[in-house]
Amino acid sequence: MSAQHQQYKFSEIIADPRIRERWEKVRRYFFLRESTYDMSNRCNIRCEGCYYFAGEKQFAIENSDENSWRRLFQSEKERGITFAVLAGAEPSLVPHLCKICYQTIPLGAIASNGLKPISREIDYRIHISVWGNDRTSETIRKAPNMLARQIANYKDDPRAVFVYTFTPENIDEARQVTKLLTDNGRQITFNMFSAPVGYQGHLRHTSETLKKTREVMSELLRDYPQTVLFSTYNIVAHTEKSALHELFSCSYPRMNSSMDVGLGRTFRQYRTDLQWDREAACCVPDTDCDDCRHYAAGSALVTARMYRHAIDPVTFSAWLDYVDTYLAVWVRGYDKGVNLCNTFITPPPKN
Amino acid sequence: MSNHTNQTIARISEIIIDELKLEDVTPETFDADLDLVDEVGVDSMDLATVALVLRDEYGIRIDEDDYPKLTTVRIIAEYIIDKQNSNE
Ligand code: SF4
C-alpha cells in the first residue's frame, strides 16, 4: 500500500477488504468509556520520576471503606462508565477494593508494579511496569530482582502485559528484556517516560534519545512480532519530537474545556479520597503536557482523532493499527491483528 | 423552513439511523430537535463516524472543534447548508 495524496471518500477507504474488516473489528469497542481511580496512596517501592508522587493527589486521604467504593463504582456505572483503570500509587495493596470495582464494572485494567500478585478472580488486564533490566530497576526503583519476581508472579497469566517505559538510560536494555519475556511466553508493550511537572532530572527525553528509542522499538517490533504489542504508528506517535498534545490535541478535561462530548464530558480521575478535580483530570495527572508521551494518554488521544486519519488508505490503516494495539493492550480477550501499515507516516494535522 | 433544509434533515436522520443502527425510529419519525448526546445516546466516536459519512455525502469537512456544537440533527443540517453556501 502506498500513500496517495488525493482526497479519498471514507467509503473508498473502507472498500479495501482488509481495512473494512479491521474497521468493523475495532468499532465494536467504541462503547468503551473510561475513568481512572487511584486505589491507594501507598506503594511498596519508590521510583524516581513517578508521576503519582508529584502534585497534590499523593496527599489525598486514603478512603478504605468498602461501602463508599461500592457506591462510587455503582454511580460510575450509572453515569455510563464502561471501563475502569485502577492505578495508584499501588492498587495491589488494596485487593478488596479492586474486587469491588471488578464486580461492578467488568472491563478494566490495573496498573501495577507486579511485586504483589493480584488474584485471578479480578479478570482485568494487568499492566506490569518495567523500567529496564534488574540492575537499572534497582537503581531507579530501589527494588532488587524486579523482572524475575514480576515474571514469576504472572507466569502463564493471560491478564498480564509488561509495559516497558523507555527512559534515556535504558533504551538498549529493552532488547534483553524483550528476549527474556519472549522466552517466558509473555507480552510487552512500550511506554515513554513523560516528565512530571517541574521534573528536572536526567530521565527527560531529548531529540537523540527519541530517535534512538524509535530505532530500538522498530527493531523489536520486527524481531518479536508475537511478543511486542505495538505498531509502526504507535512508534511514530510516541517518539516524535512534538509530544502528544501538540500532535493530537489532548481531549482530557485538564486540557479540554468542552464538557459536551467525549472525554471532556465523561472522564474523571478519582483520588484516594474519592474526590476528583476537573482542572487536574487526565489519565496521568501532574505529567508535564509539553512532554506527555505516555501510552495511556496516547490510547485516548490518537484514538479520538479518527476523522483526521480518514484521508487515505495508508493513514487510516496506521490509525487502525494504533486502535487495534490499544484494544489488545487494555481489553481482556481482545486479540491483536497483523499490523496493516508498516511505513512511518506523519501524523495528519488538524485541518 | 425550506424544502432543502427538510431534505437535508431527512437525509442526516437516515444516516444517523443507519450508522448507529437505531431501532424503532425512521427518518420520518426521527425528531430533528432531540439532543444527540443526551437523548439519542450518540458518543464522540459515533459522531466522528457520522461526520465521515456526511463528508462523503456533502463534500464538506466538519471541524473537530465544531463537534460539541452539533447537538441536534437540525443544527447539523444548518451547519452543512452554511458550509455549502460558503463554498459556493
Ligand atoms: S498530561 Fe498528557 S493526557 Fe494529561 S492533560 Fe496533559 S497532554 Fe493530556
- Of B16, B42, B52, B17, the C-alpha closest to A33 is B42
Q: What is the pLDDT confidence band of residue B1, given thresholds at 50, 70 and 90?
A: low
Cβ neighbours of A11 in B, within 8 Å: 53, 56
The grid cell for A309 is 486519519
- CA–CA separation, A301 and A295 (whole Å): 10
d(CA A59, CA A42): 10
Choose between B87 and A101: higher pLDDT: A101
Query: Are A310 and B52 an interchain contact pair (Cβ–Cβ within 8 Å)?
Result: yes
Measure in Å the smallest separation between the Cα of A243 and chain B Cα atoms. Answer: 19
- Pseudo-torsion of CA B63, B67, B72, B77, nearest 10°? 10
Instruction: Please report which residue ranges of chain A form alpha helices under DSSP H.
Output: 10-13, 17-27, 66-78, 95-104, 134-141, 146-153, 173-183, 207-223, 232-239, 244-248, 263-266, 295-304, 306-309, 313-330
Cell numbers for A39: 486505589
Edge to edge, the sheet with strand A34-38 lists A188-192, A160-166, A125-130, A108-112, A83-87, A34-38, A269-270
Residue A300 bridge partners (DSSP): none
A66-72 contacts, C-beta under 8 A, 24 or more apart: A66/A96, A66/A97, A66/A100, A68/A274, A69/A97, A69/A100, A69/A101, A69/A274, A70/A100, A70/A104, A72/A37, A72/A270, A72/A274
> Which pLDDT belongs to residue A3?
44
Is A184:A155 a contact under the CB 8 Å cutoff? Answer: yes
C-alpha dihedral, B5 to B11 to B17 to B18, nearest 10°: -160
**Cell numbers of A238, please?**
510516541
How far apart are the CA of B2 and the nearest CA of chain A, in angstroms? 28
- Kind of pairing between the strands at A125-130 and A108-112: parallel
Cβ burial, residue A168 (10 Å; 0-12/13-18/19+) = middle
Task: Label each residue of A227-257 as H, E or C.
Answer: CECCCHHHHHHHHCCCCHHHHHCCCCHHHCC
Segment B46-85, tens digit of pLDDT: 999 999 999 999 999 898 889 989 999 999 999 999 998 8
- Write down the pLDDT at residue A2: 41
Which residues of chain A are under the pLDDT cut of 50? 1-5
Q: Write out pLDDT tens, residues B3-28.
A: 888 999 999 999 999 999 888 889 88
Determine the 3-state secondary structure of A127 from DSSP: strand
Q: pLDDT at position A274, please?
A: 96
pLDDT digits (tens, 9 = 90+) for A117-176: 999 999 999 999 999 998 888 888 888 889 999 999 999 999 999 999 999 999 999 999
* Residue A227 · residue A182 · CB < 8 Å: yes
**What ipTM was reported for this prediction?**
0.93
For residue A54, the CA-to-ligand 1 centroid distance in Å is: 14
Which residues in B lie closer than 8 A to residue A307 (C-beta atoms)? 48, 51-52, 62, 64
Q: Which residues of A touch B43 (CB under 8 A)?
A: 30-31, 33, 261-262
